[in-house]
Chains A and B, each alone.
Chain A
Amino acid sequence: MTDHEQTAGRAWVFGDDVDTDVLAPGKYMKSSIEELSRHCLEAVEPEFAASVRVGDVVVGRRNFGAGSSREQAPQALKHLGVAAVVAESFAGLFYRNAMNLGLAVVVCSDAGKIRAGDRLRVDPGAGRIENLTHHEVLSCEPIPAHLMQMLEDGGLMASLEKRLAKERTP
């Protein structure tokens, strides 16, 4: 079992088109990830960065992560301890960036059924979300196999380390 399976946490619920400018505001892009993370989502949810706990789940509706290629957007969420992002759909660039950083992003057409504060257990590999508050199971799209392997490795860096180590072994 890896860190990405069976994560449980509180849901933070947002709407459509949560963009990279609110996730990683440009003003703090030259700062450290610690500083930048303190301002993650502050334009739409000022309490988020201070109140989010390790293992919590961010829930969006359509097109989560719209906008820039800046991977500080998923990186800030990961830095704050967010275990997974669940949404009806993701912006392609954000989806790739999150996976590359080892942050599970899960496509779930029923994401709209999740309420703020619900206790969720997300299993990205199986494509399953258990809502412990409402005793219901939401099915999601399983993560494609080639990405699941990278996610289990801990992201692209870890995956490359593994690949290079293998190539260097005579």
Chain B
Amino acid sequence: MIAQNVMQTLAQKIIARAAGRQSVVPGEIVTCALDLALMHDSGGPRRVKPMLEKLGAKVWDPEKIVVITDHYLPANNEESRNIIRIAREWVKEAGVTRFHDGIGICHVVLPQKGYLRPGMFAVGGDSHSPTGGAFGAYMFGIGATEMLGVLVTGEIWLKVPHTILVEWHGSLSTAVSAKDMMLALCAKLGLDGGQYQAIQYCGDTVARLSMQERMTLCNMTPEVGAQTGLIAPDQVTAAYLESVGVVGIDTAKWQTDPGAPILAQHLFSADKLEPQVAAPHSPANAGPVSVHRGTKINTAYIGACTGAKIEDLRMAARVLKGKHAASHVRFVVAPASAQDQKMAEEEGTLKILVAAGAELLGNSCGICAGYGDDRLSENEVAITSTARNFKGRMGPGSSQVYLASPYTVAASAIKGEIADPREMLHD
């Protein structure tokens, strides 16, 4: 038998709890009970409804299911409208009351509604589901058929992951953000360096990040091939959760024990980090902005769960205040949720962006997912605050996407070419 006082990582502790065990060991296969299952309109109802009907099965617990529409919005063609309609009808049939329709991207809306808390074991029907890890939850993405299995049984199998520590120390410079931290990690680890294990972000830099910036870290974890990325809860987590009505959480319980087994530890210095840009067609093609400085762009896009939350919009506004995007640049802003947009409106951030020439798109996945009509055109060159720039994702194979922080996207919009935001912002 395993001793009671075995040292475990945060990931192990959550999995052990969900598997009904005292402890688990990396590498063993366990079955876990789900606390929450998140679906969006693309991989959700339109895919699982026919499968549930074929099985003649009902969902295991409608209270633990959240459905948020975000991929096929705005629904400006027949297929998209049909997909959204299926979602609306299905939640009624299934008795799912946690349904949020057209108010933002699922990963951003989920914490706003107070659905996440430390120690939760959750899945989402989208690869960016590890965003929930920012709240000390173990959350990962699955496909539609696996979601069907979850909906029917309330369980999922899992190979207990090893934990990889990504530790940041020091202070981020002006115009450097969580997005730059992740692009630097992509460059260092490559697209598969996470080995489908669990990454835990830690260190004093991470401790000083706001919840939205922590979400950006966890959100991009799939880009290095880890199953999830998580951050142990602290006062910042507790304060955020309290603001959305989640009180009395136990932060002390959900920490990695000293001496717990760690597969690898990657140390980074925030002091030395420069703004990063990832060249087409991989997030791992990242390097300092100076490498790509001067590259002409057609489009600058602030959008997605990765890069259009209120703090991302503020970063862009800091650079753009009193300035205007270059005349030949299409500057597009799609706030990640209605709530983020409302805050931006009330505080004046949105006004700055619009005055700088921003074309506003809806609170949905938009160009990032490449599902709708807002796609890049042949040979179009874009710089975006999104997570992924694989060939053909956001437009035809000839389009080119550079990934960067909202600061760098905004600076590039002004210049009409990739630019260093530090030259426009001074403390």
Contact = CB atoms under 8 A, between A and B. Distances in A.
B371 A93 contact: no
Interface stretch (A65-73, A121-129, A132-140): A65-73
Interface stretch (A2-10, A25-33, A48-56, A112-120): A25-33
B196 to A, nearest CB: 3
Given A30-B371, A43-B397, A68-B127, A164 B57 contact: yes
Nearest to A147: B157
A168 B157 CA distance: 23
B227 interface: yes
Nearest to B42: A29
B192 A66 contact: yes
A97 interface: yes
B303 to A, nearest CB: 14
A79 interface: no
Interface string A29-62: 1110000000000011000000000000000001
B145 A100 contact: yes
A161 B145 CA distance: 13
B144 interface: yes
A63 B196 CA distance: 10
Contacts of B394: 26
B125 A27 contact: no
A155 B54 CA distance: 14
Given A62-B192, A67-B127, A69-B126, A21 B391 contact: yes
A96 B149 CA distance: 12
A30 B42 CA distance: 8
B192 A70 contact: no
Interface in B49-84: 51, 54-57, 72, 77, 79-80, 83
A25 B371 CA distance: 9
- Which of A21, A69, A93 has the most B CB atoms < 10 Å from its CB? A69
Nearest to B192: A63
Interface in B266-282: 282
A97 B225 contact: no
A66 B225 contact: yes
Contacts of A62: 192
18 contacts: A20-B390, A25-B392, A30-B77, A31-B79, A67-B127, A69-B43, A71-B43, A71-B144, A71-B145, A71-B146, A89-B192, A92-B227, A93-B142, A97-B142, A97-B143, A100-B146, A100-B149, A160-B152
A62 B225 CA distance: 11
A44 B391 CA distance: 9
B375 interface: yes
Interface string A6-22: 00000000000101111
Contacts of A30: 72, 77, 79-80, 83, 371
A91 interface: yes
Interface of A: 17, 19-22, 25-27, 29-31, 43-44, 62-63, 66-71, 89, 91-93, 95-97, 100-101, 144, 146, 155-157, 160-161, 164
B192 A17 contact: yes
Interface string B302-328: 000000000000000000000000000
B390 A67 contact: yes
Nearest to A94: B143
B388 interface: yes
B191 interface: yes
Interface string B137-154: 000011111101100110
Q: Give 6 nearest A-B pairs by CB, closest first.
A: A92-B196, A26-B370, A71-B143, A63-B192, A97-B143, A21-B393
Contacts of A89: 192
B55 A164 contact: yes
A69 B125 contact: yes
Nearest to A32: B79
Nearest to A89: B192
B369 interface: yes
Contacts of A29: 42, 371
Contacts of A31: 79
A63 B226 CA distance: 11
B196 A91 contact: yes
Contacts of A71: 43, 143-146
